[in-house]
Amino acid sequence: MKRYCIFILLGVACFLGSCLPERSGTIASLETPAKAVRAGLALSSHGLGDQSFNDMLYNGLIQAYTRFDIDAVLRIPPDDDEKTLEALFEDMIQKDKCNVILAGEGFLMGPIIYALARKYPDIVFILFDYDEGYHLPNLATAEFAQNEGSFAAGFLAARFSKTKRIGFLGGVDVASVRDFEAGFRQGVQYGDPVCTIITRHISLLPDFSGFSDPKRGYEMAMEMYAEDMDIIYAAAGASGNGIIRAAQESGHYVIGVDSDQDHMAPGYVLTSMLKRLDVALVRLLEYRIAGGLRGESYRFDYRNGGISLTGMEYTKSLFPAALLDELGRVEEMIKNERIAVINTWGK
């Protein structure tokens, strides 16, 4: 029988200073006294070290452990098979005694978590990057406005591109990746309607390997750069590491996602679109501890610090000051809803 990796977190994390969303709706019966939370985070089998989605969630759990008086457990399954994941969550509840379950890969775990939330009404479940309209008092979801950050990234790419051929390389054609693409495509057109956007995916549903195949990401990116695309937006999880390497080796540019990936190829990662999974995890656990977590979807966007571009530490000198000023105005217009960004999730 395959064994699961289990870690009790004892680390120290960086301070997260972003402002966060206010809660609204009907309060669920989720009140827990202080010192009574045992939170378990389940990642996908890709595990740690992706410098992207999974690492951002892990950092959030360490930060929550440091800030709050809680126990924390990390679980990584040997594979992402449905039965494996079901067994993992049952172990977290029955053996690890977790009373808060944090499901990191919503598109893989969503249906399983929905069934478990009905089975265990006294356990709190939190799904990240997933919202399919499930509404239960003990199930909260974290949704991210990747469309907004992608719009800003697309605007910057369009103004910076020399060939006016820009690539979008997604990991898998899941809903969140399509939302990335829609916002990016709109931002590119806003920045320069002359630009052409070429979209490809490393794998197609039901094959999820596109999020964990840096070798294939590298190969596809090199093909795209050879087709005169000078910038690629890499919304591909751990596969993005290969795309970033391709940019550096070919002398082209890439835009990273989820965490700050600018340092991975200084001068070649124009910016990264930050999806603050760490911020969301900390705040939702804070709500849980205070007894105010609700069975609803929480949205993290430009207005509450859940989405942003990086400070472009290694590339700022590449951009004219006028372009950076204009980018700042675009971001402000997104925050103030003066630009209506396409939202394929309908929220």
CA distance 227 to 163: 10
For residue 59, the one-letter residue type is: N
Q: In whole angstroms, what is the distance from residue 266 CA to residue 252 CA?
A: 12
Residue 24 pLDDT > 70 = no
Averaged pLDDT for residues 16-23: 32
Question: Is residue 19 predicted with pLDDT exceeding 80?
Answer: no
Nearest to 151 by CA among 183, 192, 199: 183
In 3D, which of 74, 54, 77 has the Cα closest to residue 3? 77
| Of 307, 299, 303, nearest in space to 129 by CA | 299
Tens of pLDDT, residues 202-222: 999 999 899 989 999 999 999
Residue 269 φ then ψ, to 5°: -90, 105
Q: What's the CATH number for 5-144+277-300?
A: 3.40.50.2300
**Topology at the third CATH level for domain 146-275+315-335:** Rossmann fold (3.40.50)
> Could you report the per-residue pLDDT of 142-192, keeping only the tens digit for each?
999 999 999 999 999 999 999 999 999 999 998 889 999 999 999 999 999
Helix (H) or strand (E) holding 158: helix 146-160
The residue ranges of every structural domain in the chain are 5-144+277-300, 146-275+315-335
Residue 8 has pLDDT above 70, yes or no: no
Most confident of 9-13, 52-56, 138-142: 138-142
Give CA–CA dist 42/106, Å, rounded.
Answer: 10
Helices (H) and strands (E) in the chain, counts: 9, 13
Cα 125-343-80 angle, rounded to 5 deg? 40
Entry pTM: 0.82
Q: What are phi and psi of 229, to 5 degrees?
A: -85, 125
As a whole-number percent, the residues of the chain with pLDDT over 70 amount to 89
CB 60 within 8 A of CB 279: yes
- Of 143, 85, 137, 74, which is closest to residue 111 (Cα–Cα)? 85
DSSP codes, 302-342: TTTTSEEE---TTTGGGS-HHHHHHHHHHHHHHHTTSS---
What tens digit of pLDDT does each residue of 251-279 get? 999 999 988 999 999 999 999 999 999 99
Supply the pLDDT for residue 129: 85
In this predicted structure, the answer to whether residue 42 has a pLDDT above a threshold of 90 is yes
Residue 17 has pLDDT above 80, yes or no: no
Measure the CA–CA gap between 196 and 338, rounded to whole angstroms: 25
- Amino acid letter at 266? P
Render 196-213 in DSSP notation, one character per residue: EEEEEEEE-TT--GGGS-
Cα–Cα distance between 320 and 129 in angstroms, integer?
35
- Binned at pLDDT 50, 70 and 90, residue 346 comes out as low
pLDDT band with cut points at 50, 70 and 90 for residue 107: confident
Burial letters 132-167, b for 16+ CB under 10 A, else e: eebeebbbbbbbbbbbbbbbbbbbbbbbbbeebbbb
Asked if the peptide bond before residue 206 counts as cis, ω within 30 degrees of 0, the response is yes
Q: Higher confidence at residue 105 or residue 116? A: 116
